[in-house]
Amino acid sequence: MFLSSPVMCAYQKIWQRTEAKKGLQFFLQMLCCSKMTQKTRVQTERIYIMLTGKTIILGVTGGIAAYKAANLASLLKKQHADVHVIMTKNALEFITPLTFEILTVNKCLTDTFDRNFKFEVEHIELAKKADLAIIAPATANVCAKLAHGLADDMLTTTLLACQCPRIIAPAMNTRMYENPITQDNLRLLEHYGFTIIEPASGLLACGDSGKGKFPDEGLILEYILRAIAYPKDLAGKKILVTAGPTQEAVDPVRYLTNHSTGKMGYALARMAMLRGAAVSLPAKLRCPRLRLSILSASKAHTTSLRQSPPGVRNRTLSSRRQPSLTTVRQSFLMKRSRNPTAI
């Protein structure tokens, strides 16, 4: 949402003359009442659609996770990418080419010697116009072929001719993935410029549990966006972004905080990452066993007694009544309005 200069000036004046809460409420009312123009809608859509005009080769190999590649193709198509799917012979046993042809509106390539095409060396022409090539899922067999330069089908010949960014998303049994030969092949692919997405851990289709699951499609999409969505004008830069709520202690028990979700900080960090920067996003992760919504000292006392053991609950604790956080906040705002430079 983009606000005009007069609206921003009016908002700034109201913010200076009133308390923070009233100014924020007025600002939100202006956002809700303002109408989004067609130009603003187009600008907003461009923020989320990042692959317009990009050509992506999606290689699908013969693993049980081949069916998940259909969801990845759909995500890429929603980003307005031109997706071309190449399937190996074994991948045809798990999912049909018709599925990808419907999702991508392009012919699915399966055979190097297919005669039903226009006169051109198809794997070379496709490699020339590709902005990115990704194999998801990638079996141990295909990883070994690419690591040693073998090209005996449509997928491997096309990948061998590609000079664009190349991504590999391995998916296989845990023992196959942890085999030293497979690990050497993956390191060799990284040496040759391939990006390797580490597989997820969990219960596999064969019944084993461990590393080797197909990575989440959203994670794969983030790798693709980082590779080709934006020019890398921040490459070599190191950026530190803090996000989320802050806490300022009033005394050893109470503190002043805010309702920040950290979404803006996360969005800034993500955009800097997409533009090539090395981003650090420190976060204080707190995972308590029980989360309580406490806004006053009296409620804290009542809640703690309710959650405490019966022996402690029956005790009578006489303590001086503490002011609530609302009272402390009002006092803080009053002091700031009287003398802004003192705080």
Give the active site residues. 206
278 DSSP β-pair partners = 238
Task: Find the distance separating the first CA and the last CA of the chain, reported in whole Å.
Answer: 33
Q: What is the Cα–Cα distance from 62 to 135, expressed in whole angstroms?
A: 11
Q: What is the Cα–Cα distance from 86 to 123, expressed in whole angstroms?
A: 10
**132-138/55-60 β-pairing:** parallel
Other CB atoms within 10 A of residue 57 CB: 26
Nearest to 109 by CA among 128, 126, 131, 132: 126
φ, ψ for residue 210, nearest 5 deg: 160, -165
Residue 84, SS3? strand
Contact indicator for 225, 51 with CB cutoff of 8 Å: yes
- Burial per residue of 132-170, b for 16 or more beta-carbon CB atoms within 10 angstroms, e otherwise: bbbbbbbbbbbbbbbbeeebebbbbbbbebbebbbbbbb
24: left (phi over 0), alpha (psi -120 to 50) or beta: alpha
φ, ψ for residue 197, nearest 5 deg: -90, 120
Contact indicator for 269, 241 with CB cutoff of 8 Å: yes
Cβ-count burial of 290 within 10 angstroms (0-12 exposed, 13-18 middle, 19+ buried)? exposed
DSSP string computed for 94-123: TS-HHHHHHHHSSPPB--TT--SS-SS-HH
